[in-house]
Structure 1
């Protein structure tokens, strides 16, 4: 794989032949084939209990695991039992590895997302049970029940903008503050927060504010700082 972006060749999706074929990708410099983005947090299992059956068995149609335990709370808490996490993967296209950026695609809408048997249903549809949790046969996660594609994109794009500004070491303001800090023998940094610190504070304030409006929907954005900027986690209430 020659790209930093989490991508797979468009002609060989490894987990399921039923994937979205779109033009949103980059060209592999070796093969010339187009590489398409997918959510690398999801994975598939074929041993599960099909809805309507009493026991677990092997099935040709894989379940796609799109939501995960809420490891941000104690395992013995009611919150752990009543919530799940949907992970939004890093997105390296255009910025490389030095600036944390996250996928603007609502899980299930990525160019190489996996469809289930009925690809006309652009939403999370329960098909089976695995390890006590319910999953579908597509890349759609429970998040599609809480946010529209537009709402999701607006949230992630705002997070990405704040992070780009915070990690832009070569901005004029950052360079000016560095020179002033150097001339003042590092006293300036004790008096004025750096641009990066102010932008990160603005990001965390944005997440706090947005969470207040999302609380009534039963979802919460976990700050990317809490996951080491490896993913954005969105907590959703388990629907039974």
Structure 2
């Protein structure tokens, strides 16, 4: 049976001598396909199998293993991802995390909006990047508790965000006494209360930098108990 699906190409790798394997993020799954002859310069499928390409694939399903890609229609190629090393490293980090996360229409939408922000060279690129990470953390159930103190649940005297405890702490529960800047706490709160419908309000009220993206990627790595090679590389790039 032949099916059509639309999404964002996340990954492409060589397979055997002339073929390749490719993965696409769609609304409800990560689709993997075999792409015959993609390593040849004359391949007609190569243009539809580039990382960070929004495209439609026509796939011949197989009983076992990945389907066979028989036609690819590019919709939008977000080539500016490759023009800045920091954004490139962060985008591939997001890619690696998305490959580990259960897809949803919201994840596809937010990642697409991030790529559009990159392509349009908006100042809000890292705000959209943090928003993608926020949706991933929520999807995995590892988002910080921001509706009060994570230990006693009081809503006043909040003064820090604890990675160890997984959320805000009040003055009485903050045993190490290290306080967080109020504006940074407000940024965390607004980020995790934001939705795709009011992200403009978040962008208007908060300024996000790559260090914010790294913080939430660190959070993901800690609570998922995984290792992200791309995160280590991103930190190296930022420190250059």
Normalising by structure 1, what TM-score?
A: 0.25
Relative to its length, the structure with more helix (as a share) is 2
Normalising by structure 2, what TM-score?
A: 0.25
